[in-house]
Amino acid sequence: MTPMLIKIHDEMTRDALGERFSPRALETIIAANLKQDAIRGQFGHDEFHYDNDAIEKGDRYIIEQRGYILTALLSPASDSASIFAWAAFGRLLHAAQDFYSHTNYVTLWLDQYADSPPPPPEIDPLQKDLIESPSLHSGKIHLPMDGFYFVPFLRPLALRLLPPNSHGRMNLDSPAQGPKFDYARAAAVKRTQHEFDLLRKLLPPEMFVRFADV
C-alpha cells in the first residue's frame, strides 16, 4: 500500500525484534509482513488486516499462522522449512500490528482514563476485557470512498463523506491520524514482542534455535 504504511510495519517489526533473529530470518519475516499490504492482499482478505469488523477471522488467522510455524519447525531441518516458518510469522505479525490501527482497541483503552491517560509506552496490548468487549470493532471499507482516502487531494472530501465506522475515519495508520497513532504504534510493538515471547515459551529449545536462527 502506501510507502508510509510499509515504512511503519517495517520499523515496528525491527524495533520489537531487533537482534532476536538472524538478519536473514528478520528480512524474510519483514518481507512477508509487508507483502500482506500488496494489492492482492487488499481485497477479500479482511483477516490480514482486521478490516470490516473481521475480529474473529483476524484472531483465527493469527492462530492458523502460528500453526504453520509449528508445522514447519516439526519437519526435518531445511532452509525451505525455516523460510516457511519465518514467512508465517511475518503474516501473523502483520495482522497483529494492524489490529491496533484498524480497530477501536486504542480508543477503548484510552476511554478508561478520561482526561489523564498514561503515556503510549504504558498501553497494555492485550487487556482481556477490552479484547473480549462487545464494543470492539474495526473500520468498514466503503468503496469507492475508502479508496479516495488514499489519494491525498481527495482525502478531505472522502473524510467528509465517510461514516464514523469507516476505515478512513477510524484508521490509525500514520502520525497524521493524531495522538492515538502513538498508542497504536506502541501497542503494536509490544504485541510483536509478545508474539515472539509466546513462541519462545511454546517451542522446544532446539526448535526455537532453528526459528531464531542465531
| Residues forming the site for Zn ion (CB under 5 A) | 37, 49, 98
Give the CA count within 13 Å in the CB-facing half-sphere of 41.
15
Smallest distance from the beta carbon of 48 to Zn ion, in angstroms? 6
Least distance in angstroms from the C-beta of 202 to Zn ion:
25
- Name the residue nearer to Zn ion (CB basis): 141 or 203: 141
Compare residues 98 and 195 and give the one whose CB is closer to Zn ion. 98
Nearer to Zn ion, 99 or 211 (CB): 99
Nearer to Zn ion, 82 or 146 (CB): 146
Name the residue nearer to Zn ion (CB basis): 98 or 146. 98
Q: Is 180 in contact with 106 (CB distance < 8 Å)?
A: yes
Spatial separation of the C-alpha atoms in residues 145 and 133, rounded to whole Å: 29
Closer by beta carbon to Zn ion, 82 or else 101: 101
Least distance to Zn ion, CB of residue 39, Å: 12
State in angstroms the smallest separation of the CB of 42 from Zn ion. 8
Report in angstroms how near the CB of residue 181 gets to Zn ion at its nearest: 15
Residue nearest to Zn ion (CB): 49
Distance CA 182, CA 187 (A): 8
**What is the 3-class SS of the chain, one letter each residue?**
CCHHHHHHHHHHHHHHHHHHCCHHHHHHHHHHHHHCCCHHHCCCCHHHHCCCCCHHHHHHHHHHHHHHHHHHHHCCCCHHHHHHHHHHHHHHHHHHHHHHHHECHHHHHHHCCCCCCCCHHHCCCCCHHHHCCCCCCECECCCCHHHHCCCHHHHHHHHHHCCCCEHHHHCCCCHHHCCHHHHHHHHHHHHHHHHHHHHHHHCCHHHHHHHHCC
The nearest distance, CB 6 to Zn ion, in angstroms, is 10
